[in-house]
Amino acid sequence: MPIQTESNLIKKFPPYLFARLNAEKLAARRQGKDVIDFTMGNPDNPTPQPIVDKLIEVVQDKKSHRYSTSKGIPALLKAVSRWYDRKYGVSINPYTEAVSVIGSKEGLGHLGLAVLNRGDKVLVPNPTYPIHHYSVIIAGGQLVSVPILDGPEAFLKALFKAHAKAKPRPKMVILNFPHNPTTVSVEQAFFKEIVAWAKKSQILVVHDLAYADIVFDGYKSPSFLATPGAKDVGIEVFTLSKSYNMAGWRIGFAAGHAKVIASLARLKSYMDYGIFTPIQVAAITALDSPEENLRKLAAIYQERRDIMAAGLNKMGWPVEKPKAAMYLWAKVPPRFSKMNSLDFSMMLLKDAEVGVSPGSGFGSLGEGYVRIALVENKDRIRQALRNIKKLFS
C-alpha cells in the first residue's frame, strides 16, 4: 500500500482556478513580457508610513518577540471597539465580542469548523470570494448557493426562497457587501431585513466587510452590526488588507455575537499563537488613523475605475461603474462571447499581456464574466487599454 498523501477533504479542493492563469503569467514574464496584472485584489500601494514606523518601533522591543495572544492583545481589541464606535456607532465589548484573525481569509476559514457540524447547510452567494464557499467545505457542511448577480433585492428574495426550500434548514448564511467579485452593494435597510429574518429563522449571519472603505461617489457601505439586534444573530469580519494596504501583514478581526466569537477564539487558541505582537500594535495605529486617509485611498481607486470603465466602454466592451470595492465585474465582451471566461482571460494574457480573473473561479454563476482588479496605476491602466483595444480592431 502506498503511503496516504491526500485526505478526502483535500480532494474536494480543485487545483486553484488561478493556477493555470498564474503558470501562463509566469511563463510570459520569463519571456520578458510586461504583464499588466489585474488578477488579484492585492493592493499595490504601500502601507501608510506611520503604521510601518510603529511596527519598526515595537519590533525593537525584545519583549515583543515572544508568543503573542491568539485572541489578540487587549490593546488591539480595544482599538477594534473604538473603531466600531467611531465609524458605525456600534458598541463592542473588547473582552467578549471581538477576536483578531490572521487575515479574514483565515478567520472565515476556521469559522466553519468552530460553529458548524458535518452536514449543516449554509447559504452562500454564487459567485463569491472562494473562502466563503470553502469555509463550509472545510467544516464538512453543505453549500446552498444563492444567485447574487441581479442585485440586492433579487438576492434577498432568492435567499429567503432557498432557505425555505432547504431541508434540513440552513444553520448559517455568509454575506459580503460590498461584494467580491460582483461589487453588488447594499444599504442599511438590507441588513434590517436580514436581521429580522435571521431572528425568525434562527440562522447565524456572517458578514464579510472587507471593502468597507473602498467606496465611491459619496456611497457609504453599511456595517451589518450597526443594525439593531445584529449582535444577537451574527458576526462581522473585517480585514486591514484593503483599507490600510496591509495585505501582506495578515491581520483582521471578527466581532459580534459573544458565543460565536468565543467559539472561534477557542478553536484558534488550539491552532495558533496569535499574530506577531509588533503587527498587532501597528494595527492599532491603522485602526485609529484619520478617516481622511481612507477617503484619499478610495479616490485613487475611483480614478482608476473611471479610466478603466471609460476606456473599455469606448472600445465596445460594455462595463458598469461600481459603487464600491476595487473591481470591475464585466461580461465577456459580445464579440468574444463564444469563449468561456477562462479561455477569454487566457487570450487577454497571451495576446494583450493583460491579466484578469475568470468569473468561473468564483462559482458556477460567474461563468461568462471576468473580474478586473484595479491594482495597477493609471499609466499602466492606459497601457492595458491600448493593448486590449488591438484585439477589438
Ligand X SMILES: Cc1ncc(COP(=O)(O)O)c(C=O)c1O
Residue 286 is a binding residue for ligand X (CB under 6 A): no
What is the nearest approach in angstroms of ligand X to the Cβ of residue 245? 11
Interface residue with ligand X, options 21, 37, 41, 345 (CB under 6 A): 41
Nearer to ligand X, 206 or 385 (CB): 206
Q: HEC states along 92-131?
A: CCCCCCEEEECCHHHHHHHHHHHHCCCCCEEEEEECCCHH
What is the nearest approach in angstroms of ligand X to the Cβ of residue 247? 5
Residue 105 is a binding residue for ligand X (CB under 6 A): yes
Give the binding-site size for ligand X (rule: CB under 6 A): 13
What is the nearest approach in angstroms of ligand X to the Cβ of residue 271? 15
| Residue span binding ligand X (CB under 6 A) among the ranges 15-23, 27-35, 102-110, 274-282 | 102-110
CA torsion sign for 82, 51, 255, 155 is positive
CA distances from 327 to 21, 322, 348, 351 (A): 18, 8, 17, 22
The vertex-170 CA angle with 262 and 267, nearest 5°, equals 25
What is the nearest approach in angstroms of ligand X to the Cβ of residue 128? 8
What is the nearest approach in angstroms of ligand X to the Cβ of residue 330? 17
CA torsion sign for 250, 330, 364, 338 is negative
CB half-sphere exposure, 140, CA atoms < 13 A: 9
What is the nearest approach in angstroms of ligand X to the Cβ of residue 336? 26
Tell me the per-residue interface mask from 165 to 204 with ligand X, x by CB under 6 A, - otherwise.
-----------x---x------------------------
Nearer to ligand X, 37 or 353 (CB): 37
Residue 239 is a binding residue for ligand X (CB under 6 A): yes
CA distances from 163 to 33, 69, 253 (A): 49, 38, 28
Find the helix or strand (DSSP H, E) in which 158 lies: helix 152-165
Binding site for ligand X (CB under 6 A): 41, 103-105, 129, 176, 180, 208, 210, 239, 241, 247, 252
